[in-house]
Amino acid sequence: MAPFEQIGEDYIAQVRAFGALGYSPDRIASMLSITGMKRTCLIMRITSPGDTYNTAYFNGKSIGEYNIDAELAKKAEKGEVDAIILQQQRKDERQELDLRRELFGI
C-alpha cells in the first residue's frame, strides 16, 4: 500500500474545519487522534501541494481569515478605531505575504 493510501478521504471535512481555526497540520493530526504511520501520512498529505487534503486545509484557512476580516469590516463600518487599525494591518500583512509567495515562492 502506498503511503498516501493509508489515509483515505475520511478526514477532509475535519481538516478543512481545523484549518479554518488556524491549527497546524501536526495539531490537526493530534485533534483527530491519529498516530503512527497514519499520522505521518496525514501530515504529508496536508502539506503536499495538489493533494485533496492540502486543498481542504488551505480552503479552511482562507475561510477562517475571511470570517475574521468580515467581522472586522462590520466593526470598522461602525467606526470602531481598533477594528479599523487591525483591518488595515491584516490587509498589509496579506499583501506582503502574497508578494513573498509571488517573488520567492514562500
pLDDT digits (tens, 9 = 90+) for 40-64: 999 999 999 999 999 999 999 999 9
Tell me the pTM. 0.80
Domain ranges of the chain: 3-104
Convert the pLDDT of each residue in 69-98 to its tens digit. Answer: 999 999 999 999 999 999 999 999 989 988
The DSSP annotation for the chain comes to --GGGGS-STTHHHHHHHHHTT--HHHHHHHTT--HHHHHHHHHHHHSTTSHHHHHHHHHHHHHHHHHHHHHHHHHHTT-HHHHHHHHHHHHHHHHHHHHHHHH--
Q: Quick one: cell of 27? A: 495539531
